[in-house]
Chain A
């Protein structure tokens, strides 16, 4: 991690990951997963619940950031 902190691309990478964690926590704490009273639960494609969709998006963000950084910028690649 010291090598990642040592250059701009690495710092941007860490910032993206940190932001994704903060965004996820903010989304959860502000009630983004909950169903408003009187409404039906969110279901994508008829079965994917909000907890599944939100988590999958989170993993995909990490995957894309990792692919770009580790295969183009990581000093020890």
Chain B
């Protein structure tokens, strides 16, 4: 136990030291704190964004779902790879140019100005916060589960450790240091994830990956195909999961990343890293872990027995099966290193989500609605201190709602994030999109999603027609946005000039 505590304390001190250094060298302006002074280059941006989206979910929820239900869930990743690339290919350059020309500090601010509406600013800010805040809380709890699997300590210990790191990092560092620390955290994370896979395959999977597949053929061939052992991933659900992944372009904490870019060339190179490093390498590692290595070492039936003996459930144990196997089959010191990787994954994601949330609170809610004449220093101060409120709120919500990690991401957060997609895409690309359309579409989509998730007689999501939550809600949102926009007066010529013509001109001329 002593070794684990000392190692994790040293790891935490490195992160806190980096945050303190970031505070010392920062320019102390709102633009520097919130958008890293718009100076992030392509390599830092890639790792910043990759590890912002690769949370403890990549270590627990994703392989846990593959472990239980076979490989069908990986289509969320294939969709996400395309979605993230699409953000940087299609929306990123315009959003970045628009924000740079007009000194916008948040994407919500940019859309509120585009649609000339404070009401929309409030609707977008509150709906994004409502869906991002609970997801922030899942990260510390994910680490807590890993702590428990490794050390036997209650979940709250690991969660508290992670929260302290998060708050210090975001309070002191701001976006630039969050981005730079993500590279350090990402290096630990990739090493732990890949290293553990290579080691476990050598140590515990005779015959390597083909040997693992042969073993699964003996245990249950359905583990190697869809719909999986429980018949869960029907073709319709797999297709829906793929579409949910495609909507990754609307994740607010990823969208804001595009606004920190140094120049337009970033948008030319960034997708290359997404496809090659993200799609064809990084996400294959947890896929192999969850769909091949883990079930061949501990078959699901055996894990179910262990879960029953421990008073747990198969679903909960599946979420932490990777950590359990590492603790069981590899040396203790390596288990600690892997837990550092999980902490790195959780902190790298939650820090960016916290930054995004605090920017929206300070810039869009407090300054945008209540105190328009706030100074640069005041905005930065509000952003910093809202971090603590958001962390407390997010942890509370996550503890109350103890849903499965993977399902929370795909069933609640992502459908929620997607509700601002029509207003975002239309605002950047469609001159005819109007304020009334954006407000009506977003409000209808969010209300429909909330009611659909809350009203479940007999466990059935009747209002959502038992489809994936994103499908009916986004469709209704989109239809309302387009129809109301076409029925209301077109935006003024000044808006066309500021948000379309000037942006085109800037992107053509900027080098």
Partners in one complex: yes
Residue numbers of A with Cβ under 8 A of B are 1-4, 17, 21, 24-25, 28-31, 33-35, 40-43, 45-47, 49-52, 54-56, 58-60, 62-63, 66-67, 70-71, 74-77
- A51, A58, A66, A74: most-surrounded residue (chain B CB, <10 A): A51
23 contacts between A and B (CB under 8 A): A1-B89, A1-B91, A1-B429, A2-B429, A25-B239, A28-B235, A33-B226, A33-B235, A34-B227, A34-B235, A35-B225, A40-B217, A42-B225, A43-B213, A43-B224, A47-B292, A50-B71, A52-B284, A55-B74, A55-B77, A58-B78, A59-B82, A63-B276
Q: For B429, what are the chain A residues with a Cβ–Cβ distance below 8 Å?
A: 1-2
Q: For B280, what are the chain A residues with a Cβ–Cβ distance below 8 Å?
A: 56, 59-60, 63
Residue numbers of B with Cβ under 8 A of A are 71-72, 74-75, 77-78, 81-82, 85-86, 89-91, 93-94, 208-210, 212-214, 217, 221, 224-227, 235-236, 238-239, 242-243, 246, 264, 267-268, 271-272, 275-276, 279-280, 284, 287, 291-292, 428-429, 500, 504, 507-508
- Whether the pair B235, A30 counts as a contact (CB closer than 8 A) is yes
Among candidates B71, B82, B243, B508, residue contacting A49 with C-beta atoms closer than 8 Å = B71
- Whether the pair A66, B72 counts as a contact (CB closer than 8 A) is no
Among candidates A31, A46, A54, residue contacting B213 with C-beta atoms closer than 8 Å = A46
- Say how far A45's CB is from chain B's closest CB, in angstroms: 7
Q: How far is the CA of A58 from the CA of B276 in the complex (A)?
A: 12
Considering only CB atoms, which chain A residue lies closest to B78 in the complex?
Answer: A55
- Whether the pair A50, B225 counts as a contact (CB closer than 8 A) is yes
Q: For B94, what are the chain A residues with a Cβ–Cβ distance below 8 Å?
A: 1-2
- Whether the pair A41, B209 counts as a contact (CB closer than 8 A) is no
- Whether the pair A28, B238 counts as a contact (CB closer than 8 A) is yes
- Whether the pair B508, A76 counts as a contact (CB closer than 8 A) is yes
- B224, B243, B508: most-surrounded residue (chain A CB, <10 A): B224
Q: For B72, what are the chain A residues with a Cβ–Cβ distance below 8 Å?
A: 33, 51
Question: Beyond A25-B242, A29-B235, A33-B238, is A59–B271 a contact (Cβ under 8 Å)?
Answer: no
Q: For A74, what are the chain B residues with a Cβ–Cβ distance below 8 Å?
A: 268
- A28, A70, A77: most-surrounded residue (chain B CB, <10 A): A28
Q: For B291, what are the chain A residues with a Cβ–Cβ distance below 8 Å?
A: 49
Q: For B210, what are the chain A residues with a Cβ–Cβ distance below 8 Å?
A: 43, 45-47
Among candidates B91, B242, B272, residue contacting A67 with C-beta atoms closer than 8 Å = B272
Q: How far is the CA of A31 from the CA of B89 in the complex (A)?
A: 31
Q: How far is the CA of A25 from the CA of B209 in the complex (A)?
A: 28
